[in-house]
Amino acid sequence: MKNFAVCFNHKITNSVEVKDKLLDILNSKGLNVQSLDIDNLKNGYDFVFVIGGDGTILKTARFFAKFQIPIFGINLGRLGFLSQSSKENIETSVDKILNGDFVIQDRVMLKSGNYTALNDFVIKGCDTGRTTRFSLKINDKFAGDYLADGIIVSTPTGSTAYGLSAGGPVLAPSLKAFVIVPICPHTLTARPVVIPDCEHISIIPDGNYVLSCDGQELYELKNEIVIEKSLYSAKLALLDDNAFYTVLENKLHWSTPPVYLN
């Protein structure tokens, strides 16, 4: 690796300070490095450090996926589920990366036309005060109608995000699958469905709807939406290939027993 970039989100507190610290560390090692604002990304690097929260990483991952450039997250946000480092241990993380002590994990992404998502697509009716009927087809076969506030189509990476909050399952990132999760369905038997990521998903809402890509980009549409696996995958650099389960415990407090007060 010869060319590095440090991507930062100027809207996040301390991001400029941490960016400058990281640039100093990389420059002191004689590396070719440039800084990029999250709103002005460009190609031409072998490796990208991303400073910010999960939202910053999602936006950066979508951009660099088509160039197959690995990214490494340094968390400044609240949860930092996609990050591998904090501002306190930047130098240690840099040394591991430069010594090749990391792995690159491919994360499946979603696409619908020109839209892409690493976490999820969320489809909701434009009339937020009412439920909407959504007809679901998988591989052009009718799979059911949902009367609900919306539908989430999630990747394994996104299964710990909105889909989890809506009652969906947690999927290990390496699984080749998608999750379809109805949001507040008006039928008790409507439950999340896990399908292979080679399947084609079609959703026909009853009326106009809003498509949300990773909760960051919103588009108002009115025709059938077709969702499938993207040709590109996000490449996340990880210091520990098995960190997913540790992250579940440490950041989501997974399976933590309740605390009883005397």
Tens digits of residue pLDDT in 121-165: 999 998 777 889 999 999 999 999 999 999 999 999 999 999 999
pLDDT higher at 59 or 251: 59
Domain locations in the chain as residue ranges: 3-102+239-252, 110-231
Which CATH number does 3-102+239-252 carry? 3.40.50.10330
C-alpha distances in Å from residue 150, one per residue of 33, 78, 168, 253, 256: 43, 26, 13, 27, 30
Residue 35: pLDDT band by 50, 70, 90 thresholds?
A: very high
* Residues comprising the chain, all counted: 262
- Please report the pLDDT score of residue 80 as a whole number: 66
pLDDT of 23 strictly over 90:
yes
Q: How many CA atoms lie within 13 A of 37 on its CB side?
A: 5
Q: Is the pLDDT of residue 261 over 70?
A: no
Question: Which residue among 54, 120, 149, 214 is the active-site one?
Answer: 54
Task: Please say if the pLDDT value at position 48 is more than 90.
Answer: yes
Fold match flag (3-102+239-252 vs 110-231): no
The residues, any chain, with a CB within 8 Å of residue 52's CB and separated by 6 or more, are: 7, 8, 9, 12, 15, 38, 73, 74, 75, 76, 77
Give CA 162 to chain center in angstroms. 10
Q: Report the candidate in 36, 41, 178 with the shortest Cα–Cα distance to residue 107.
A: 178
The reply to whether 206 belongs to the active site is: no
pLDDT for 258 equals 65
Instruction: Evaluate if residue 84 carries a pLDDT over 70.
Output: yes
Q: How many CB atoms lie within 10 A of CB 24?
A: 10
CATH fold of 110-231: Tumour Suppressor Smad4 (2.60.200)
- Answer yes or no: is pLDDT of 243 > 80: no
- Please state, in angstroms and rounded to a whole number, the distance separating the CA atoms of residues 19 and 31: 15
